[in-house]
Structure 1
Amino acid sequence: MIDAGAKIMITPCDADPSISAGQLTQPLGIPTLTLCGSAPVLTAAVGDVMFGTYPADNVQATAVANFAIAEGKKKVYLLTSPDSTYTANLPEYFGKVFEKKGGAVVGRGTFTMGQPDFSAEITNIKNLADQPDLIMTAAYEPDFPAFIQQLRGADVTVPVYGADAIGTPTVKGLGKLVDGVVYTAAGYAEPGSKLQAFNAAFAKYAGHAPESTYEVNGYEIGLILDQAVKTAGSDDPKAIRDAIAGLKDFDGITGKITYAGTDRMPLRPVALMRYEGGEGKHIQTMIPDAADVPAP
């Protein structure tokens, strides 16, 4: 794509391929935007051409931790995997905010992505002398469904919180098994909102409703680039990069998006959701206080 003359690059969600692509785009000054890539380390790992577009892991974790404290949760067990930046770091960001707000981390466990058996981790949880009143993990498919099925099968009723990667049809399809599970999204379609209108237009075009907020994230990338090119007044990559970096309170579909004054991971709303009766119910939408967000 670079050889063909690409002046903008859009990369996958995960930090690892986005960072790899950034090693090629950074020396050439090509602005690079990751679709739903949320690891806050990726912009620094690449350089000034790399932009996140989705709520960062540490921002999502802060929103979930603040909610957990508000709900009266005191003790958390963190379940992580070293196999991706997302699964390794997001629960730890949660733990930092949770402890800062007066909570305690009473245990930690790890898993390998793709493992079918979580019995050892579940046994560790059941045997903790100081039982948690919350389990926090960034596990996603197929790991999260396997974990929650085995956890509930072992009669462990501790609430489980996660993040955006479990707002999917597969997890929703688990029905009552995931009742009480809290997760995040980039927005919520309030009646009369731009997001509700987008979802309706998407369904008409695609023949089915959006499966997550990743679809609207992709659309918002187009809007961000459109505004950046208008501001730059050209298709020069450096001018576009500078215009993106200067965006402030840009009216997206999910709410206002700001890059100005950030490390190119946007300040933007986080919607908190909870599965109830097999449906994702909106709890609240917030932009966490920047002072509460832990450093990458």
Structure 2
Amino acid sequence: MKKFLIASVALAAMVGSALAQETIRIGALYNVTGGMSSLDGPSLYGAQLAVKQVNADGGLLGKQVELIAPDGKTDQQETAKAAQRVLSEGVVAGIGQSDTTFVMAGAPLFQEKGVPFVTSGATHPKLPEWVGDYMFMAPFGDDDQSYAIADYAYDKLGARKVVVWTDNSMDFTKALSAFFTERFTEKGGEVVGTDSFMMGDTDFSAQIARLASIDPKPDAVFVSAIPSEAGISVKQIREQGITMPIISGDGFDTELVTTVPGPELANDVYFSTHTYRADDRPEVRKFIEDYKAEYGRDPENAFAPLGYDALMLVADAIRRANSAEPADIQKALKETRGFKGVTGEISYTRATMVPPKPVSIISVKQGEYKVEEIWKPEQQ
């Protein structure tokens, strides 16, 4: 009986191992509920579309791809648990997250296990340095996008004096404000006031009162926020009759900027984001068609194609490595050059390992989004 039990356990382990090897598992860490859901939800949809297309084309190395995507619930502890879960299920790589704080809750666990992680939307340029050599970025860095909107505010909007509001609870928002201030003041502009708030705040009356009291009146207000505060801040600023331009980064690349205040108040808003809207490259056109065919709607924002790009970046690395071993995938990712993503070409040529990608400047006028210009970064 004892021998039979041992044999049964061994057989079960073998069967379990064989089943685990039938698919190539990739983890997806996203906050599909909570304050980050308007970015992470579309990003996950983009990644799921990529998996469906890869599998329809025969999968990778003769196997189907399986995406494991537990909800991080816009909570750092839940994100860490989600990372532990997918790693325990034998993923060969991970993708996800649209914010630096949540990447830092999960990606270091991938680094510890020697499994590559590609963030689809977190933009702090020090992420690869902070996490390690198994950390990769599909998007640009916050320095590039902050410089882009600072240049636009100074050169095109004619802003010389600005007020800077910062969500002090997030690494991303603090970095965005710091890089914006650096660039704007280097160009000769002046920050005439600063203010702060925290993730989850819903009342900006005190900040608005201080903004309105500044004399002489500033030319613009820079609001460094995530989506949950983006729409609310626009609504409340405009409701108080303040008409100066509101400028920001890709945390404003959300439908909440127009749906919360409504089209009449969603006016003279400008933000930097990932090159995608109004781009006629074939990769963009095909992605929009495929997304609409799959989900019955246009992609919500640039984070949908970023999720798609992150998954396809991993798939490309697996094909080039001809291996699903995490170390081989990491090596192939590091050697990525000229990968033609929907959100722009990705090459890891900088020492920082942050891809030098173009940045779109978007305006919102009467609730309508428009690409104003494409900003090109320095390659180094």
TM-score scaled by length of structure 2: 0.72
Name the SS for the 1:176 alignment partner: coil
Please say if residues 145 and 272 of structure 2, whose CA atoms lie closer than 8 Å, have aligned partners that are also in contact: yes
Aligned residue for 1:114?
Answer: 200
The equivalences for 1:147-226 within 5 A come to 147-173=233-259, 174-187=262-275, 188-191=277-280, 193-226=282-315
The Cα RMSD (Å) is: 1.8
Q: Deviations 1:173-228 (Å, cap 9, x if unpaired)?
A: 22131211011231223346421221121101111111001111111112211221
Query: Aligned to 1:140, which of 210, 226, 241?
Result: 226
Structure 2 residue runs of 5 or longer lacking an equivalent are 1-85
Deviation at 1:102, TM superposition (A): 1.2
Aligned residue for 2:142?
Answer: 57
By percentage of residues, which structure has more helix? 2
Distance 1:252 1:192, change over 3 A: closer
Aligned residue for 1:244?
Answer: 333
Indicate whether 1:231 and 2:317 are aligned.
no
Aligned residue for 1:125?
Answer: 211
| Paired amino acid for 1:23 | P
Q: Deviations 1:134-188 (Å, cap 9, x if unpaired)?
A: 1111223332222222212222111100111222222222213121101123122
| Paired amino acid for 2:270 | V
Q: Deviations 1:59-102 (Å, cap 9, x if unpaired)?
A: 11111111112122111110002111122221221110011111
Query: Aligned to 1:102, which of 181, 188, 200?
Result: 188
Taking the aligned partners of 1:112 and 1:195, their CA distance within structure 2 comes to 35
Aligned residue for 1:294?
Answer: none
Query: Which 4+ residue blocks in structure 1 deviate beyond 4 angstroms?
Result: none
| Paired amino acid for 2:129 | A
Please say if residues 221 and 244 of structure 2, whose CA atoms lie closer than 8 Å, have aligned partners that are also in contact: yes
Query: Aligned to 1:27, which of 93, 101, 112?
Result: 112
What's the % identity of the aligned pairs? 27
Q: Please say which structure displays the higher CA radius of gyration.
A: 2
Distance 1:98 1:290, change over 3 A: farther
Please say if residues 144 and 377 of structure 2, whose CA atoms lie closer than 8 Å, have aligned partners that are also in contact: yes
Indicate whether 1:39 and 2:121 are aligned.
no
TM-score scaled by length of structure 1: 0.92
Deviation at 1:119, TM superposition (A): 1.4
Name the SS for the 2:87 alignment partner: coil
| Paired amino acid for 2:113 | L
Name the SS for the 1:147 alignment partner: helix
Name the SS for the 1:208 alignment partner: coil
The equivalences for 1:266-277 within 5 A come to 266-277=355-366
